[in-house]
Chains A and B, each alone.
Chain A
Amino acid sequence: MNSKSSSAPAAAPATNAITSPYIRIENVTKRFGSFVAVDNVSLDIQRNEFFALLGASGCGKSTLLRMLAGLETPTEGRILIDGQDMTHVPPYERPVNMMFQSYALFPHMTVADNVAFGLKQDRMPADQIKRRVAEMLELVQLERFATRKPHQLSGGQRQRVALARSLAKHPKLLLLDEPLAALDKKLREQTQFELMNIQEEIGITFIVVTHDQEEAMTLATRIAVMNNGVILQIGSPTEVYEFPGNRFVADFLGSINLFEGVVESIDGPLVVKTEAGPMMELEARGEVSAGQKVAVAVRPEKIAIGKERPSQSMNACHGQVVEIAYQGSVSIYRVKLDGGYMARVNAQNETRSARRVIDWDDEVWLSWEREAGVLLVDEA
């Protein structure tokens, strides 16, 4: 395999990229003293992917990213980029650049000097540097601000300078540590789309670290969900949301109702007898045996709420409305089921009416389709 192949930015994914991934993280562990920050992680990332590492604060995302940048050395394991072992290569010799969470803009240099910094380290001729800097500032729409110092910029502008600086060297891989966390909500949403456009335009691999599940799902083509230094699930946004592999992933991405129970029958559709009482029916995925302890997970937006008793006998629960939160486009109901379980239901507010059909303390029925439930077999 040709590991020294040109890093032409727009190169389409080669066919052999499937067999040998662009970035390979092999059994990487990082310990700080006795504390394990990253625990035996293995991960393959393909060329031109927009990959997201998603997890709660402190779960080891940044540490993993910093090992890719060369700012930390793995305690165990190897990191390969484009077939080359990079585990012990110092950051200044890696074809990788990083956009820091704090942006880390050099306060004593102008915007243009910040963007030119990496190019100067490569001893690029001055006229080329000038051209490249202009190109980068155009990309992030900051041409007018070239001579300003970082503290003369707003938060959003600083974020763009940081992006331009980390892209200026045309790295093979761009690492972004919580790139949008410091922006307010409106600006964050707008910037998400810009980031996606830029990635498409220049066509290099992006790895983004975030604790915001919506951000990860919007940006990324694939997501790895992390907890306590371990990767729990990798998949496309739809996969991890619709088919969570375990309780943590199910709960971390949006909210979910978890019904504990025991497998009743595996002939035909799977049937689970829940602790709360009602029988639940779902599509079988994976192997289970009758009598096994499991949980059925149902997203709140997949549940219908009504006062009438539904016709089906499975996937139907009776309860009483405890709380209603009106959020504009949706209303969130908290319903106390007869078995004591507190269920959550999101209902679209389709009509505009001042009077609610369902009110506090009303007796209601919850029901859902067989396809809506997900079977979780990991221990609680």
Chain B
Amino acid sequence: MNRGVSWFNVTMLILGFVFLYAPIALLILFSFNAGKLVSVWSGFSTKWYGELLYNEQILQAAWVSLKIASINATAATILGTLTAFALNRFGRFRGRTLFTGMATAPLVMPDVITGLATLLLFVGIGWARGMSTITIAHITFSLAFVAVIVRARIASLDMSLEEAAMDLGARPLKTFIVIVVPLLAPALVSGWLLAFTLSLDDLVIASFVAGPGASTLPMVVFSKVRLGVSPEINALGTIIVLVVTICIVIAATVFQRQERRRAIDDQMAQRG
């Protein structure tokens, strides 16, 4: 219905998107600045990308972050999916209310609290700090985000599909693997990707629970940013924006192609 969209809405949309994207556009623009200042244009250059490639510290931290992010995403997807099933499919069980609380609070809990609390636990039980502690802390909040995505998908699944599988002789575990997992696949993929980016993006929690040895990419970026702006960071930001945009555009294209195929199939079905 276009009647509902007024000039006011259109203006707000345009201004809103300018607000959201202008800083990113400027960030990208000044990553190609020849000078050291990120606010005065002094000619085109890609030298900051070159510097970035030779910055051992950043490369090292990026590698650490990628490792943590992928382990985190995988574990969080598994645990988040189990959480989603427990909450949406297992009816009432003892301690369900507490479970629901623990599975939703991390979505909004301020990072400083989570970070401090998790660190105190590791200190309390004498767990050596490092990559493992960062990963555990990340899994804990990521699983809550995965659970939200998977729950939405489960809620839209027809439960009689599972019943039909069991009726035809498939045991519960087989039903889960052969019927449920394939149907949940889109949610599992987006859950994994979300958990991956959340982990890559986290500064505060990682700062608390990281030992002296392990530094993630955001931690290194933060320490650099605190010292002042530098075009190298602009270059890094540009690369991140580029990678994310490419991933999202690919995902969207695949999704849209599927939709279109579906639409054609439906027409086919109409004709019989």
Chain A residues with CB under 8 Å of chain B are: 69-71, 90-93, 96-98, 100-102, 104, 106-108, 117-118, 121-122, 149, 151-154, 157, 165-166, 169
A98 proximity list for chain B (CB < 8 A): 163-164, 167
Supply 11 A–B pairs (Cβ within 8 Å), ascending by A: A69-B167, A97-B168, A98-B163, A101-B160, A104-B161, A104-B163, A149-B265, A151-B269, A152-B268, A154-B269, A165-B164
Q: How large is the interface on B (under 10, 10 to 19, 20 to 34, 35 or more residues)?
A: 20 to 34
Could you tell me the dominant secondary structure of chain B's interface residues? helix
B164-179 interface with A by 8 A CB criterion: 164-171, 174, 179
Contact present for A106 and B161 (CB under 8 Å)? yes
A92 proximity list for chain B (CB < 8 A): 166-171
Tell me, in angstroms, the Cα distance from A71 to B168 when the chains sit together: 12
A153 proximity list for chain B (CB < 8 A): 269
Per-position 1/0 for B97-113, Cβ under 8 A of A: 00000000000000000
Per-position 1/0 for B147-188, Cβ under 8 A of A: 000000000001011011111111100100001001100000
B262 proximity list for chain A (CB < 8 A): 151
Task: Determine whether B223 belongs to the interface, using a CB cutoff of 8 Å to chain A.
Answer: no
A107 proximity list for chain B (CB < 8 A): 161, 183
Tell me, in angstroms, the Cα distance from A121 to B158 when the chains sit together: 21
Chain B residues with CB under 8 Å of chain A are: 158, 160-161, 163-171, 174, 179, 182-183, 262, 265-266, 268-270, 272
A-B contact count (CB 8 A): 73
Contact present for A102 and B165 (CB under 8 Å)? no
Contact present for A121 and B168 (CB under 8 Å)? yes
Which 9 A-B residue pairings sit nearest by Cβ, starting from the closest? A121-B169, A118-B168, A104-B164, A104-B160, A152-B265, A91-B166, A100-B160, A108-B182, A92-B169
Contact present for B268 and A121 (CB under 8 Å)? no
Closest-by-CB residue of B relative to A145 is: B272
Contact present for B167 and A71 (CB under 8 Å)? yes
Among B170, B265, B269, B270, contact of A121 (Cβ-Cβ < 8 Å): B170
Contact present for A100 and B164 (CB under 8 Å)? yes
Chain B: minimal CB distance from A72 (Å): 10
Tell me, in angstroms, the Cα distance from A151 to B270 when the chains sit together: 10
Name the residue among B164, B179, B266 with the largest chain A CB count within 10 angstroms: B164
Closest-by-CB residue of A relative to B164 is: A104
